[in-house]
Amino acid sequence: MLQRPPSWKREDFVVTACNAEAVRAVDSWPAWHGGALALVGPPETGKTHLARAWAERAGAVELDPAHPPSRLADLNGRPVLLENAERTDPETLFHLINMAAEPGGGLLLTSRERPTAWPSPLPDLRSRLNALPVVELGPPDDEALRGVLAKFFRERNIRPAEDVFEFLIRRMERSVPVARSLVERLDEAADAEHREVSRVLARQILDGGQESDDLFKTRLAPSGGAGENGDGN
């Protein structure tokens, strides 16, 4: 069960119809209106992956919302990534948004909720949050699910048969956390029983008791389009 570290490379982000608009918006930097963009969506829909890929390309400073920098002036004219932005000190967030439009700057904010729902005791910050450009990542479509399954298998150095993907996608809940859990359980079962990850093993995992019932559901018919995404985040 030798695992590779998770990859945040841009080329490893699975782009499909369900997230293409968000990808285009993030990739359009530095042409963001006002220099800032909010990337929102449920947990583990690709926000962190997309955000960190942008940060690497832009040379952005990644901030911890729980530990804001003591000298914000040092960030003036530099791109900044702030995940879980709703947890940031309001005064700090206000100044970061104001600085985003400076030459060489930029501010990518991630959150589970749209900025209009973030807490703000400052009227000036509220008006800026309400005006922020926003893109959303939703639940994964079939193509995205296949991509994230392949990524999780690849991180565990597993090469399943092609029919395993089609079988899983037809039957599993369309959720990135569930995909990760499923790959982990398949890896553990294959290792314990010295077996290959196959459709037979996948069926046993999916139909193997109450735990499976809690995590997975049978899909009567495949559905297309966007439904994703999402941490990381």
Report how many domains make up the chain: 2
Phi, psi of 138 (to 5 degrees): -110, -170
Are 125 and 181 found together in one domain? no
- Which pLDDT band holds residue 231 (cuts at 50, 70, 90)? very low
Helices (H), 8-141: 20-27, 47-58, 90-99, 123-131
Q: What residues contact 92, with CB distance under 8 A and at least 6 apart?
A: 68, 69, 72
How far, in Å, CA of 211 to CA of 207, rounded?
A: 9
Residue with tokens 């900025």: 115
Q: Is residue 9 part of a domain?
A: no
Are 37 and 123 found together in one domain? yes
Q: Is residue 211 part of a domain?
A: yes
Q: What is the pLDDT of residue 216?
A: 42
Answer whether 124's CB lies under 8 Å from 94's CB: yes
Indicate the residue among 111, 136, 161 that finishes a domain. 136
How far, in Å, CA of 56 to CA of 73, rounded?
A: 21
**Facing residues of 108 across strands?**
37, 81
Q: Which domain holds residue 92?
A: 20-136
Are 97 and 111 found together in one domain? yes
pLDDT per residue over 37-83, tens digit each? 999 998 878 899 999 999 999 999 999 998 888 889 899 999 999 99
Are 210 and 152 found together in one domain? yes
Are 27 and 93 found together in one domain? yes
Are 46 and 154 found together in one domain? no
Are 131 and 154 found together in one domain? no
Are 115 and 51 found together in one domain? yes
Are 37 and 131 found together in one domain? yes
Q: How many CB atoms neighbour CB 114 within 10 A?
A: 16
Indicate the residue among 101, 136, 171 that finishes a domain. 136
* Position with higher pLDDT, 174 vs 183: 183
Q: Is residue 4 part of a domain?
A: no
Q: How many helices (H) and strands (E) does the chain have?
A: 9, 5
DSSP-derived letter for residue 207 is T
Q: Which of 43-47, 109-113, 161-165, 169-173 has the lowest mean pLDDT?
A: 43-47
Mean of the per-residue pLDDT values of the chain: 85
Write the CA distances from 107 to 24, 81, 103, 127, 166, integer angstroms. 16, 6, 12, 17, 39
Are 156 and 130 found together in one domain? no
Q: Is residue 115 part of a domain?
A: yes
Are 129 and 160 found together in one domain? no
pLDDT per residue over 1-27, tens digit each? 445 555 567 677 888 888 999 999 999
Are 39 and 108 found together in one domain? yes
Q: What is the pLDDT of residue 224?
A: 37
Q: Is residue 206 part of a domain?
A: yes
- Which pLDDT band holds residue 176 (cuts at 50, 70, 90)? confident
Q: Is residue 177 part of a domain?
A: yes
pLDDT per residue over 70-122, tens digit each? 889 899 999 999 999 999 999 999 999 999 999 999 999 999 999 999 999 99
Q: What is the pLDDT of residue 95?
A: 95
- Which pLDDT band holds residue 198 (cuts at 50, 70, 90)? very high
pTM for this entry:
0.73
CATH number assigned to the domain comprising residue 193:
1.10.8
Q: Is residue 221 part of a domain?
A: no
Q: Is residue 170 part of a domain?
A: yes
Residue 202, pLDDT > 50, answer yes
